[in-house]
Amino acid sequence: MAVLVHRSVTRTLFGMAFPMLAGTFAMNAYNLTDTWFVAKLGTLPLAAMGFIFPVVMLMTCVAGGIGTGITTLVSHAIGRHDHDAAARLVTHGLSLTVCVGAVLSVVGYLSIGPIFRRLGADAQTLPLIGDYMRTCFLGTVFMSLPFLGNGILISAGDSKAASQLMILGTVLNMILDPIMIFGYLGCPAMGMRGAALATLLAHATATAWLLHLLYRKHRLLVLHAAWLGGWLVSFRRIMGFAVPSILSMILMPTSAIVITRLLSRFGYESVAACGAAGRIEMFAFVVPMALGISLTPFVSQNLGAARVDRVREAQRVTTWFALCYGGLVAIVFFLGAPWLASAFTDDEKVADVLISYIRIISFGYGMMEVHRYCGFFLTGLHKPVCATALNAIRVLVLLIPLVYLGAHLYGVIGVFAGRLVTDLAVGSIGIVWVSRTLRSLRATVSLPISQPCGDP
């Protein structure tokens, strides 16, 4: 099963990324599809999606953090050729996810009003937000499991199935969105509630197929009672990675929440523009995201096989790729910003803000992706606390202070400039941090799980 430790590094990484490309495109199309159809309802529903996006990101981060813990440990077990340990971790990890998802559903459903009022939502947008989020919170478990499943399938060397899983959900979402939002084929027009319900049904279908693959094809999901033992041990091991990873991932929607709150001072047009721009960014980074999804399993499996040299080579390859790709996207976005804006809105004020966002922030995309890759490397090297620290530097030390300073000095344009400076700085810090970590591992053959961070 240890399929990530033999072929050349470049062939292995891009061989995993290529089948993931369509799947990653599909995964990003989830939010892009919702945004595009909701935009047809008007500027207020689009602004509501701008408030919804960081909260949905927060929910995804909790599931993603648990998934990171499962994926890292499963990859390491596969690298050691220990299939029983991998299956036990998957089984226990999925049950943990169901429990956490149920808690999030209840807490989130009961807190919709207070959460979004604190984000700056007003009497016009709050009812629209409630229509979407009440449905969304009811299906938190179904929306969580596919995110975990992708990493597990990649760890098992089945990136093709992981890609197909994401494509299935997205195609269903694209079919169901117009039917449920606008009311086609005898379905009542449900507006924002329809957008959420379409996404929920698509995720539920993907979850059913995921469980089938893990149980039948890969034998990584075991249901008999003998495998229930050791659940607490697995829980502690998974959470050793999950807690730092969740904290790290939570910083991303936290920064989005802070920026959304800040932008709400300049009018709902700014919130609507940045909500749409965030989804355009996700869509533009389908290719590097496909590569990034594979990094933690690759690094952890090679660490389990004592191949630190391959990890060093992977850092070199991915850094150059991120910089080249980011530079290309920056040029395309700068030239095509007016067209991109017109595709999402007819409101002139929203379009002006959207064009400014794209043209300024895009020049930091390369280093932003380098920073993201560095976090994957540190997690795969069993240093999740270091990955969290790197993200904390980005959000707490650089991003939030700089966007507030920029807003004070130059308004909305200053917010975008603060984000650009942050991306350039934190990417550089990440390169140095990972390089020094790998040098310290040069003579190391095996490492204990969840090492302390130490000096970067």
Q: How far is CA 103 from CA 92, 98, 206, in A?
A: 17, 9, 21
- For 34, the token pair is 């919702």
Supply the pLDDT for residue 368. 93
Closest CA to 295 of 285, 303, 284: 303
CB 79 within 8 A of CB 1: no
Distance CA 179, CA 244 (A): 40
Where the chain has pLDDT below 50, the residues are 445-456
Distance CA 359, CA 375 (A): 26
Supply the pLDDT for residue 427. 95
Supply the pLDDT for residue 443. 57
Supply the pLDDT for residue 228. 63
Closest CA to 274 of 32, 39, 47: 47
Supply the pLDDT for residue 452. 46
- For 276, the token pair is 């749409």
- What is the pTM (predicted TM-score) of this model? 0.75
Owner of token pair 């020049």: 363
Distance CA 374, CA 162 (A): 23
Q: Give the DSSP letter of residue 450.
A: S
Give the DSSP per-residue string, 267-311: -HHHHHHHHHHHHHHHHHTHHHHHHHHTHHHHHHHHHHTT-HHHH
- For 85, the token pair is 């340990």
Supply the pLDDT for residue 31. 66
What amino acid is encoded at 403 in this protein?
A: V
**Domain residue ranges of the chain, discontinuous segments joined by +:** 9-440
What amino acid is encoded at 296 in this protein?
A: T
